[in-house]
Structures are given as structure tokens and as C-alpha cells.
Amino acid sequence: MIRTELKRGTAELAVLSVLEEGPLHGYEIGRRIEEQSGGTLRYTLAALYPLLYRMEHRGWLRGDWETGDSGKRRRCYRLLQRGRKMLKPMRAEWADLFHALRRVAKVTHG
């Protein structure tokens, strides 16, 4: 299991990446990240929501209350242009980091 501090750093990229696929509410964001990472990345509410609010204030996302088919009101997050622009450099940064780690720490896949 990946340590909490290490996971925190990945959260911004993970949230932006799943929102790139379309608008989602908080629970669904967490579920998609968990599912797509094969259960490796699991965020608690304490990790996920402060991040969502911070990204919203930075203008990367926008949260709107919507009523779903079930009649439940949920806050749906949409990726904004500014957030979309952040994705490319963020992905490049992480790719550089993995590349460097692979060389230094002899980390390999599998």
C-alpha cells in the first residue's frame, strides 16, 4: 500500500484526469480513481474534499449542485479550461519524476 504522503502528491493529477472524462460528483471521483488505479489510490474525505475546494478556488474546477435521477442533490464538478491547461505540464512533470526514480532507485515495473 502506498503511503498517505506519497498519495497526496498524486491527488491533483488523479482528480483532473478523471474529470477530463466528464463531470462527476465527489463520491464518483473517488470511486473512479480507485477503480482505475486498481485500488491502489484510495482517498479519504479528508484528502479529497479540501483538494476539490482548493482546485475550485484556483479556477481549475467548478462545482454545481444538481439533482440526479434518484432525486438526490449532489455537487457535480466540471473541469474548467484553466484546469485542462494544468493537465499537460502536470503529466510531463510526473513522467519526468518516474523516469528519474527509475534510474536512481532502480524502480522497475512488475
Residue among 27 and 98 whose Cβ is closer to another protein: 27
Which C-beta is closer to another protein: that of 58 or that of 91? 58
Shortest Å, Cβ 8 to another protein:
10
37, three cell numbers: 488505479
Least CB distance from residue 80 to another protein, whole Å? 14
Cα(3)–Cα(99) distance, rounded to whole angstroms? 20
- How crowded is residue 16: how many other Cβ atoms within 10 Å of its Cβ? 19
Could you tell me the smallest distance in angstroms from the CB atom of residue 20 to another protein? 21
The answer to whether the beta carbons of residues 86 and 16 sit under 8 Å apart is yes
Which CB, 70 or 108, lies closer to another protein? 70
Q: Which is nearer to another protein, 44 or 97 (CB)?
A: 44
Please state the closest distance from residue 11 (CB atom) to another protein, in A: 12
> How, if at all, do strands 61-67 and 73-79 pair?
antiparallel
Residue ranges in contact with another protein by CB under 8 A: 25-27, 30-31, 44-47, 49-51, 53-54, 56-58, 65, 72-75
Q: Where are the alpha helices (DSSP H) in 1-110?
A: 4-20, 26-36, 45-57, 81-104
